[in-house]
Amino acid sequence: MHLLLHLLLKLYPRAYRERYGDEIAAVVREQQECDGGGPLFWCGVAWDHVAAARRVRRRMRTRGWGETMIEDIRGAVRSLMRSRRFAFFAALTLGLGIGATASVLTVADRVLLRPLPWDGAERMVELGTYIMGGEDLAVLSGPLLLDFIERLDVAEAVVGASRGRPVRTDLAEPFQLTATQVSPGYFPFFEGEAVAGRLLDDADHRAGAPPVVVLSHGYWTEAFGADPAAIGRSLELDGTAHTIVGVLDPAFTAPRPTFWAEDDLVRPLGLYQRELSEGSFSIQAVARLRPDVGPEQLQAELEGIGRERYVDRGGFVTGFGSAPFRDTVLGPSVGTNLGRVLGAVALLLLVGCVNVASLLLTRASQRRDEFRTRASLGATRGRLLSQLLWESAALAILGSGVGAAMAWGGVEFFRSHAPAGVPRIAEITFDPRMLIATVVLSVSTVLVFGAAPAWAASRGAGGPTTRSTHGRGQTRARSALVGLETALAAALVIWSGLLARDLVEMSNEDPGFRGDGLVAGQLDLRGRTGGASAESRRDFVRRLSESAGAIPGVQRVAIATELPYSGNALVSSMTPLDAPEVAEGTFIPVVAVDGDYFEAFGLDFVQGRPFDTERDDDRMLAVVNEAFVRQYWPDLDPLAGAIKSGGEDVDDEGVYEVVGVVADVRTVPGRPAPPKMYADYANEAFVRFHIVLQTDGPVAPVVQSLRSAVSELDAGLPLNDVTTLDAVETRALAEPTFYASIFASFGLVALLLALVGIYGTTAYATASRGREIGIRVALGEHRARIVSAIVRRTLVVVGVGALAGGSIAMLGSVYAADALRLVDPRDPLTYGAVSLLVVATATVAAWIPARRLSAVDPNTALRGDDR
Amino acid sequence: MTRRTFQVLLALAESPLHGYGIRQRVAETSDGEVRLGSGTLYEVIHRLTDDGWIEEVPAPVDDTGSGGPRRRFYALTNEGRGALRIELARMERDVLHARTLDLLPEG
């Protein structure tokens, strides 16, 4: 039979088809023989059968399943269109929940959950040393890495990397680059590929091999215009010509601190090419263990190999150890912070689900009459259920659309706003699987809470009455949902409030220094003539300070080895003498300063004085901060104190006289300042330092003049990391700002959802009392009283919810306490303000529908049914 | 009664016919004005059968079909004949009335 006819016959009910199908086919055949079977003929046949089938179906009152489905879908869409407000809120709620969850899950999955993307990543461990009895895993020296590479039998492979700052010397102006310096086997280990040329091979690492570099894709583009002819050319680094052998795939990802994606070059670490110092520790090492190697076995081998080189020969390295590479990559704070975000988003999704549930429950009881009527008119429960399912599906599709857009936007937001230090954030792309997972969850919510109650409501079908009776149980269920929703939302808003308040406190707090008008740049005298000796460095600094001071607009010039808010760059082993209970050789942050450091940063002296700028004696002087005095010399006069360099048993390292006590400066926003010692650059002429200028005018020309001042002194010396101190402050607050803004948006969404839920429920609850209210208005009761009665009832539920939310927040704050730096996790102000906010929101949400209803003409309310 | 229904009843008033036969006779008697598509044809047959105006009858012995499945033959029932008469009477009344209005030439 002709396929078209076969399909056309499907339009008819089955019984009809069985009865007349063959005859129809026969007639068509005869017609075809008579008229010829052109396309026009078949169009006519199709047209005729479509029309006939409709009439037949109408007459037989049965439908093919396809048509039933289309009818149900149409009915579902019509029903949603009738209650557009419900559809809008439900889809928005679902979308917000889906979007927020899917985006955070995507990020968390990439950053936290998914194993690192390399083969055998679960067997990768970081290798390190313990220095002077410390407990943190520290880096390796070159010779130790070589020992591990050659002799660590439990590992399939060991690789290491360090970071270098070579200066490109074949340009008109010297330019400092950054380079990741890697050991042999590094690229196979992390599965790197070249996009042009080749990567490093074993020959490049051998002794006497010609120097080569691999360009990053970024530097290749920036310096060579992504010209493939750059391969094979040479560039001069620190005066030595290096051949460019290839360009690294921009998608290559090895994690910090074994790779820096922003680095310009990759080059051999030079393990076999130069004499490596046992005393220079700068290499990060990773091993991929053989399967079934236990931690004890690894530890034993590390100790065995390491002790041969170090412990027998001196006391600096006191141990060897390892840590799962995953921990290194993630870092502790990112894990906990993302964990918290994940917890918050789970709460948010819960609020969303509860909200949808309460909206659907409300709607289901509103439609009880509709279902009873339809059931008594002969609709089967199957048909009713089918339409409900389609309604849910339509809602889910709408919600998923909103959710997908939000999820995509959320991931983009994460990628562009995440603070530095969230590992692998650049790799994150929107993951549709997460969306699917969340959509499934949300659709199940819709089904369970939407279709199930309606289904139950339809059970009374065909009963003697079609008048709705709203059970106490339903009312209670709705109140419980609203209460739950309020509680969860309140908890979220409280947490976001705490974080926001913490952030505000942090940015308002006095960091202990004044950054206005300060601009800083870093200089590195290593390998320069000016950096050859302490004397030459002091001389360089003096001459630079002089010419910088002469720049128009510059008021003060200071030198410092560390800027505030940049963490502790440098710690030295020091022993405050006469201090009670201080371990010898305690590590204390030391900042070497020169010029008008204290004045430029606005540090007040509590006692004593700054260093003299011009002095001829070679006394070793120190200024300490208040935290130092509090910790080491609580009962002593600090100006009579002295600090011995190194441990107590080390002789002749020198003793610093304390000449002043200065106010504390924070190294991290919101965290208490650690004890700190300022040394005079005259005594501690470090090779790397920042030059800081204070200016009251525009920054750019001052920086320009500073650059020329530097190149006048040393034509090959680059000025790096130029930044204003305001920018340093902003950067320091980036991470708390990021997490606070995430929580704030979650809190806002949760509050919005709760508002929608309360509004919907109150609207329904008041609508169902329309007749009663009509009577009361007709009897002369004041509208305001009716409104306030309705609002009061909602407020009881919301009040209980807010209280519960406060308790949840209080319990949760135990886990969140260390996310807060300045604000008490039980800050009464935040709890009070949020409770007020929630109650105020709820009042508005309940007041609007209550007012609208009480404004209805009583006659209308009485005449209509109770809706 | 629609024109289609009327024509089918009229066609069957002469003798029992199978589906295609009905179609052809309707085309003849209406001078090709009423052309029943296969779908419409059986929709009408189904409806008339359902209402009891026509019924399936055994095929006459001289039906030498085209070798396919045996074709079903339909015939007017008494009810169908009655319904056709009522319709024809109505039509006649209408035509007479139209004549009194000089809408039609005297036949």
Residue B106 within a domain: no
Instruction: Give tens-digit pLDDT for A692-740.
Output: 999 988 888 999 999 999 988 888 788 887 888 888 887 777 777 777 7
**Residues A493 and A832: beta-carbon distance below 8 Å:** no
Determine whether the interchain pair B66/A30 forms a contact, defined as Cβ–Cβ distance below 8 Å. yes
Instruction: Give tens-digit pLDDT for A341-355.
Output: 778 888 888 888 788
Lowest mean pLDDT among A42-56, A293-307, A559-573, A679-693: A559-573
Q: How far from the centroid of its chain's Cα atoms is residue A552's Cα?
A: 43
- Looking at CA atoms only, how far is residue B103 from chain A in angstroms? 35
pLDDT at A145 over 60: yes
Q: Which residue has the higher pLDDT, A321 or A580?
A: A321
* Residue A330 pLDDT grade (very low, low, confident, very high; cuts 50, 70, 90): low
Residue B107 within a domain: no
The pLDDT of residue A856 is: 67
Q: What are phi and psi of A678, to 5 degrees?
A: -100, 125
Q: What are phi and psi of A131, to 5 degrees?
A: -105, 125
DSSP B50-79: HHTSEEEEPPPTT----SSSPPPEEEE-HH
Determine whether the interchain pair B69/A44 forms a contact, defined as Cβ–Cβ distance below 8 Å. no
Lowest mean pLDDT among A483-497, A519-533, A617-631, B31-45: A519-533
Query: Which tokens belong to A482?
Result: 């609203």
User: If you average pLDDT over every residue of chain A, what do you get?
Assistant: 80
The pLDDT of residue A98 is: 79
Lowest mean pLDDT among A35-49, A73-87, A185-199, B34-48: A73-87
CA dist., res. A804 & res. A836, Å (int): 14
- Looking at CA atoms only, how far is residue B1 from chain A in angstroms? 15
Lowest mean pLDDT among A10-19, A241-250, A325-334: A325-334
Determine whether the interchain pair A31/B71 forms a contact, defined as Cβ–Cβ distance below 8 Å. no
Mean pLDDT confidence for A166-194: 85
Question: What three-state secondary structure class fits A163?
Answer: strand
Instruction: Give tens-digit pLDDT for A753-801.
Output: 788 777 777 776 666 677 777 787 778 888 788 888 888 888 888 889 8
For residue A61, with 0-12 CB atoms within 10 Å meaning exposed, 13-18 middle and 19 or more buried, which class applies? exposed
The pLDDT of residue A467 is: 41
* Residue A465 pLDDT grade (very low, low, confident, very high; cuts 50, 70, 90): very low
**Residues B36 and B23: beta-carbon distance below 8 Å:** yes
Mean pLDDT confidence for A494-507: 84
Query: Which tokens belong to B55?
Result: 């019924």
The pLDDT of residue A67 is: 66
The pLDDT of residue A506 is: 81
Number of domains forming the structure of chain B: 1
The pLDDT of residue B63 is: 59
- Looking at CA atoms only, how far is residue B66 from chain A in angstroms? 9
The pLDDT of residue A567 is: 61
Mean pLDDT confidence for A540-545: 92
Cα B61 to Cα A30, A266, A810, B66, B70: the distances in Å are 21, 99, 96, 14, 12
pLDDT at A647 over 60: no
Determine whether the interchain pair B19/A8 forms a contact, defined as Cβ–Cβ distance below 8 Å. no
The pLDDT of residue A328 is: 72
pLDDT at B107 over 70: no
Mean pLDDT confidence for A198-203: 89
Query: Which tokens belong to A33?
Result: 């023989």
The pLDDT of residue A256 is: 62
Domain ranges in chain A are: 3-62, 133-315, 333-508+734-863, 526-716
Determine whether the interchain pair B42/A24 forms a contact, defined as Cβ–Cβ distance below 8 Å. yes
Query: Which tokens belong to A403?
Result: 């959710």
Q: Give percent of chain B with pLDDT exceeding 90.
A: 44
Lowest mean pLDDT among A437-451, A497-511, A557-571, A612-626: A437-451
Residue B54 within a domain: yes
The pLDDT of residue B90 is: 92
B38: nearest CB among A16, A19, A27: A27
Determine whether the interchain pair A23/B72 forms a contact, defined as Cβ–Cβ distance below 8 Å. yes
Strands A179-182 and A265-268: parallel
Mean pLDDT confidence for B62-68: 56
The pLDDT of residue A22 is: 87
Q: Which residue has the higher pLDDT, A114 or A199?
A: A199
ipTM of the complex: 0.86
pLDDT at A502 over 50: yes
Residue B11 within a domain: yes
Lowest mean pLDDT among A412-426, A806-820, B79-93: A412-426
pLDDT at A206 over 80: yes
Contacts of A168 (CB under 8 A, 6+ apart): A174, A175, A176, A177, A235, A236, A237
Q: What are phi and psi of A608, to 5 degrees?
A: 70, -150
The pLDDT of residue A762 is: 74
Mean pLDDT confidence for A628-643: 88
One-letter amino acid at A714 equals D
Those residues of chain A whose CB sits closer than 8 Å to some CB in chain B are 8, 16, 19-20, 22-24, 26-31, 44-45, 47-53, 55-56, 59
Taking CA–CA distances from A22, the nearest residue in chain B reads B69
Mean pLDDT confidence for A835-847: 85
**Residues A791 and A850: beta-carbon distance below 8 Å:** yes
Alpha helices (H) in chain B, listed in sequence order: 3-14, 19-29, 38-51, 78-100
Segments forming the whole domain that contains residue B56 = 3-100
Beta partners for residue A323, in sequence order: A126
Dihedral of the alpha carbons of A342, A346, A349, A350, in degrees to the nearest 10: -160
Which of A390-404, A595-609, A843-857 is modeled with the greatest confidence?
A595-609
Mean pLDDT confidence for A431-449: 74
Helix pair angle (B38-51, B19-29), 10° resolution:
100
The pLDDT of residue A213 is: 93
The pLDDT of residue A294 is: 87
B28-64 b/e (C-beta count within 10 Å ≥ 16 → b): eebeeebebbbbbbbbbbbbbbeeebbbeeeeeeeee
* Residue A439 pLDDT grade (very low, low, confident, very high; cuts 50, 70, 90): confident
- Cβ-Cβ contacts under 8 Å between A and B: the total is 66
One-letter amino acid at A320 equals F
The pLDDT of residue A247 is: 92
CA dist., res. A507 & res. A670, Å (int): 9
pLDDT at A843 over 80: yes
The pLDDT of residue A419 is: 65
The pLDDT of residue A457 is: 58
- Looking at CA atoms only, how far is residue B42 from chain A in angstroms? 7
The pLDDT of residue A261 is: 66
CA dist., res. A287 & res. A158, Å (int): 4
